[in-house]
Amino acid sequence: MSILKVARMGHPVLRAKARPLSASDIRSPRIQQLIDDMFETMREYQGIGLAAPQVHASVRLFVAGLAPKSAGEAVDDEDADDRQSVPLMALINPEITPVGREAVEDWEGCLSIPDIRGRVPRAREIVVRAYDRTGKRIEMRVSGFTARVIQHETDHLDGILFFDRMMSFESLTFLDEFGRFWSHREVVEE
Ligand code: ZN
């Protein structure tokens, strides 16, 4: 396994529409290796999601996941339970359908836009249809933070960055100032 270089905002690969993967692509050693390397890269940079275009591979694939925190760790805001775990997943050719019309705004970061945070509206609940890394068709209904992460990562496959989804740039903040003025909690990058 290896740690991959992460493309930063301005690199054209982040603005390209990524190509779908066929069933035989998914099972190929090259894509299986890419998935392993993406999980390792996500862990290395303490991200909670990483899309293939972020590591210069313009294919419709992302990994995500955050292990639950140990029971002893402090929980100091109402969203914390929701943020404590996102199931480990590698999703291929994901298709998102919002459930209902409710949107919620919350902070996001991105490994391709280092040290910046901003508030982004996302559908509260979605159904996502995709293939897993074995090529099996899967469908999940998810809400809250997991739904946010999946929407952020799927946007990467269409060349969309979280700035594009913001209603206003007023909330944009550097990480230091975020920590000083806006948060007493850990924020993750996607
Ligand atoms: Zn991102």
Does 6 map to a domain? no
Question: Has residue 80 got a pLDDT over 80?
Answer: no
Q: Give yes or no for residue 189 having a pLDDT over 80.
A: no
Q: What is the pTM of this model?
A: 0.90
pLDDT reported for residue 69: 59
> What is the domain count for the chain?
1
In a domain, 3, yes or no: no
7 within domain boundaries: no
List the domain range (segments joined by +) for residue 153.
12-182
Q: Pick the catalytic residue: 108, 125, 153, 190?
A: 153
Compute, in angstroms, the gap from residue 111 CA to the centroid of ligand 1.
6
Q: Determine the Cα–Cα distance for residues 146 and 152; give it in Å rounded to an integer.
A: 10
- Sign of the four-CA dihedral 23, 16, 158, 144: positive
What is the Å distance from ligand 1's center to 109 Cα? Answer: 7
Q: What is the CATH classification number for the domain harbouring 159?
A: 3.90.45.10
Measure the CA–CA gap between 56 and 53, rounded to whole angstroms: 5
DSSP 8-state symbol, 134? T
Q: Is residue 50 part of a domain?
A: yes
Residue at 116 is within a domain: yes
Q: What is the pLDDT of residue 70?
A: 52
Q: 126 and 151 in contact (C-beta within 8 Å)?
A: yes
Ligand 1 centre and the CA of 77: distance in Å?
24
pLDDT at 84: 62
Centre a 10 Å sphere on the Cβ of residue 163 and count the other Cβ atoms it contains. Answer: 15
Is residue 153 among the annotated active site residues? yes
Q: What's the average model confidence in pLDDT over 97-120?
A: 96
pLDDT of residue 183: 80
Q: Calculate what percentage of the chain has a pLDDT beyond 70.
A: 87
